[in-house]
Structures are given as C-alpha cells and as structure tokens.
Chains A and B, each alone.
Chain A
Amino acid sequence: MSKYTENEENKENRKNKEKTLTRRKLITRAGALGGILLTGCDTDFYVPPKVRPGLMGIADTLTMASQRLLLSGQQLVQEHDISEITKNFPVWNQSNPEDEEYQRLRRGNYVDWQLPVTGLVNQPRSFSLEELKRFPQQTQITSHICEQGWSAIAQWIGAQLLHVLEAAGGVKPEARYVMIDAYGGWYEGYDFFDVVHPQTILAYGMNGKDLPLGNGAPVRLRVERHCGYKQLKFIKSIQVVSSVEGFGRGTGGLNSDFGFHWYAGA
C-alpha cells in the first residue's frame, strides 16, 4: 500500500510502552544531547524569549508557565486511529514557496535538498533527505490544531529532532533555542523543552506517503503541543543558538514578530 506502513507495528509497541516520559528518562534524553540539563528551576521553559511589556506579558507568562508546569512529565499528545485520518487535509498559508532555490530543489525531487545543522552544536553538519530517513522512524497520528479554529488529523512520519541534534554531536551548554528557517521566508524558534519531546519530529512523510508539496515538502516540523503556526513547513536550515537576538525583530519567531504569542500551546 504505502512505503511507510511497515512501521505500524513499531508504532503500536511504542504507544504501549511510552505513555509518558518519566522525569529520569527525560534527563537522560537531554543528557544525550550534551550540555543541556533540564531541571525544574530552568526558568527559560516558563518564560518566552521576549516578554511583551505590561499586562500582556504577565498573561503570556502565566499561560506558558502554568501549561509547562503541568507538562513537566513530557506527556505525549493523544494519538488517533488510522481510520480517523482526515481526507483532504487543508493546505493553509504558504503552499509552494517562490524561492528560486526551492523551485530548483522541487524540480529535482529534493535529491539535492540538504539540511544544515549549525550554531551551538559540537559537530555542525548537513543531512540529506535520505540521511534523515535513516534515523529511527517516528510515526504519529495526531491532530493539527490551527489557532484560527480548524483542526484535522494526519499521520506524520519523521525523525526526532533530538536524534538529529545528537547526530550533529549534541549541543553546547549555552544552547537555549533551536531556530529553524524555512523556504519562503518563515522562521520560528523552539526551546529545548519541546526539542526533547519524542513527538517533536522533522516529518518527511504524511499519511504513508512522502510529504506533499502543500504540506511543506520535503520536510516540515511537528511540535505537537503547539498550534499550527509553530508547525513550520518547507524547512531549510537549523541553527542552535543561545539567544534569539538578531533574528527578525528579536522575538524568537516570525509569528511573534507579527504579534502572536511565541508560545503557542494555548
């Protein structure tokens, strides 16, 4: 039927085994990255990189801190049955970036696509699509929740972002955020609370097939505990940084540059 179905069994196993990540396991996972230690007193996880002034900033922080506190077990999001997958999954916002470079890659069926992982990693390097597919495959059937109000269900297949960073030698102790650039000019920042989550994946497959163009081919991010605008499509490069200064308006992402919350869990 499809090229990715052989992993359905693995998925079942994983689902039964890993209902939630224990704290210990989480620290082990983070330890595998290198310097990052996820401890309860790391205030970074409770406050967005740039707090808005006034009452609005207090509300943002209350929202993020309360949810992060309740998520400290790194619970997995609910998965759906394969029969619940939405036909005609909507294509929203950017559907085909006009960048010349992107169009060249697309015509070449993304064979030349390379994902550079740079910044505060111990061994900066690039990954081809084939290399990404060689990582342990993570498959999840989840709800895509747009902040506008719509939602749809799809199966996503990809490599855990954590594994990819590990393969780049792990991160340096001062690493705080992972900035991801996309074709078409979008960029978004993520903290390590989300990076270590097992359902945070660089997805190259959708519903058993290669990721379609409109959904962000060849690779998009799935960061399941956030609204749709954090699920960056058409990924171009990854940079690990200690601060979001110097990216756009310095709020940590294009959406927050536009006035949306950086933290999109609510």
Chain B
Amino acid sequence: MKHQSRIQKSKEWVYRHSLNARICHWITVVSFVYLLLSGIMIFLQFPELYWGKVGFQGYPAVFRLSDWGLSWEEADALGNRRWGRSYHYLFAWIFISNGVIYLGWNLWQKKFYKKMLPSRDELRLSHLKADLGNHVRFRAAKGNAARHYNVLQKISYLMVLFLLFPFMLVSGLAQMPAFTAISPELIDLFGGRQTARTLHVVATVILVLFVLVHVIEVFVAGAVNQIRAMITGNYAIQAEDEK
C-alpha cells in the first residue's frame, strides 16, 4: 500500500513565497514569541483587568487570575516586569518596523490584491460552506487548489494583518502616558486606558488562537512541505488523484 501511492503521485514545484514574505514571516514569528512572553511577564505582576478609566487592586475587575487558581502572590513571583517591559518595547519596535516594510512592499507589489483578496466567487455562501467543511474535516487542498490560499485563509490573514496587528499597536499606545498626552483621543476612543489594556489582552488571546489554528493547518497540509516553502520559497504540489 505504501509504495503504491508513492508511484502514482507526481510532484510539481511552485515558487510560493517571495524572499520578502519569508524574511518578514520569520521576523514576525520571533517578535511575536518575545512580545507574547514579555507581555505575559508584565501581566503576571498585575494579573487583573478592568473596564473604563481607572482600575487598581480592590477596584471591581472584569478578570482576575486568582479566580482561575493562581493567587496574586504566585503570579507576581512568576512575572518579571523589568525584563518584560524592556523586551516588550524592543520587540514592538522590531515588529512594527518589520510590519511597515512588509505592508509597504506588498501593497506596492499589489500582492495583497493578487493573493489575499477573496474573489466574488469565493465569497459566495456555498463556497464558504465548502471551504469551512474542508477545514473542519482537516482536508488539505490538493492539486490546483493548493496553488492559492483558500478563502478562509485569505480572510483570516487579512484580518490579522489589517485589524488585529494595528489594534494591538493602538491599544498599546493608548496605555502610554506620553502617548495619551500626544493624542488624548486614544483614551476616548477606547473609553479609558483600562479598557484599552483589557482589549489589548483580549486581542492577544485571539492572536494566540489564530497562531494555534495556523500551526495546526501547517501540519494538516504537510508540515515539511509548508515549512520548507516558508524557508526556500518552493512549494511542492501533488497532482490530484485521478481515478
């Protein structure tokens, strides 16, 4: 059974990811990991979230880590703000510079338009349903369909790039005393800096979920092929089984 399938399948190589996309992707991976870890280190030393303009220990919280089994003292001992704050800002700068280069390059090259903008056909309900079905059943695209991003992939990438990442930046800036002096509208936009802090954490959770699904999909579609493509640019396409 094993060699049977080997013989039948023919491979075709396509150049899938440009050098720019590959470099930016891995810089994003490293900075995301550092931003997440340093963010957690900061959060652990004040593990409560509030809504509105003010919030402090003893003020009604919308989230308390102590309700989830980790006491304030335990969380505090695990965290490290000195390390966390230093690395959070360092990698924020790296992340933002990288993001600006990536967005600028791809907008200029019209890559978002060509590769990520869903077509009208793809946005039809029947197509979306079919695509969702493939995802739920962990069925990866083969043959011609594997040449392009599928529609849910396109939508999620666009949301992360143009919604979640900018939101992380803006909700981060809204917590900075100097930045809210520059632009007090930021506080009003969120309705308070504590709300901005809380939503910063909520968006982090959404991003982590995105990364989880993203990594699962890499394995579903074939980890070696996917990761190789993000390193060398070349992606192997298996011809569709013809019967």
CA distance A258 to B85 in the complex (A): 13
The answer to whether B181 touches A75, judged by C-beta atoms less than 8 angstroms apart, is yes
Q: Is A250 an interface residue (CB 8 A)?
A: no
- Residue with the highest number of chain A CB atoms closer than 10 Å, among B90, B175, B177, B194: B177
Stretch at the interface among A84-92, A162-170, A201-209: A84-92
Q: Is A175 an interface residue (CB 8 A)?
A: no
* Tally of A-B Cβ pairs under 8 angstroms: 102
What's the interface size class on A, roughly? 35 or more
Q: Is A153 an interface residue (CB 8 A)?
A: yes
The answer to whether B53 touches A260, judged by C-beta atoms less than 8 angstroms apart, is no
CA distance A59 to B89 in the complex (A): 7
The answer to whether B82 touches A260, judged by C-beta atoms less than 8 angstroms apart, is yes
The answer to whether A147 touches B85, judged by C-beta atoms less than 8 angstroms apart, is yes
Stretch at the interface among B40-48, B114-122, B213-221: B40-48
The answer to whether A59 touches B85, judged by C-beta atoms less than 8 angstroms apart, is no
A20 to B, closest residue via Cβ: B181
Q: A71-B182, A143-B193, A226-B178 are in contact. Are A149 and B43 (CB under 8 A)?
A: yes
The answer to whether B86 touches A259, judged by C-beta atoms less than 8 angstroms apart, is yes
Q: Which of B53, B81, B193 contacts A147 (CB 8 A)?
A: B81
Complex interface bits, B83-94 against A, C-beta within 8 A gives 1, otherwise 0: 001100110010
Q: Is B56 an interface residue (CB 8 A)?
A: yes
Residues of A within 8 A of B57 (CB): 90, 150
Residues of A within 8 A of B85 (CB): 147, 260-261
- Residue with the highest number of chain B CB atoms closer than 10 Å, among A86, A150, A153, A265: A150
B176 to A, closest residue via Cβ: A266
Residues of A within 8 A of B86 (CB): 56, 59, 259, 261
CA distance A153 to B177 in the complex (A): 13
Q: Which of A70, A143, A224 contacts B182 (CB 8 A)?
A: A70
The answer to whether B181 touches A224, judged by C-beta atoms less than 8 angstroms apart, is yes
Q: A151-B193, A151-B194, A260-B82 are in contact. Are A266 and B90 (CB under 8 A)?
A: no
The answer to whether A265 touches B81, judged by C-beta atoms less than 8 angstroms apart, is no
- Residue with the highest number of chain B CB atoms closer than 10 Å, among A71, A75, A90, A143: A143
Residues of A within 8 A of B42 (CB): 148-149
* Given A77-B180, A151-B55, A258-B82, 10 additional A-B pairs, CB 8 A: A59-B90, A67-B176, A80-B53, A145-B193, A148-B45, A151-B54, A225-B177, A259-B82, A261-B85, A265-B178
Write the residues of chain B forming the contact surface with A, with a CB cutoff of 8 angstroms: 42-43, 45-46, 53-58, 81-82, 85-86, 89-90, 93, 175-182, 184, 187, 193-194, 197
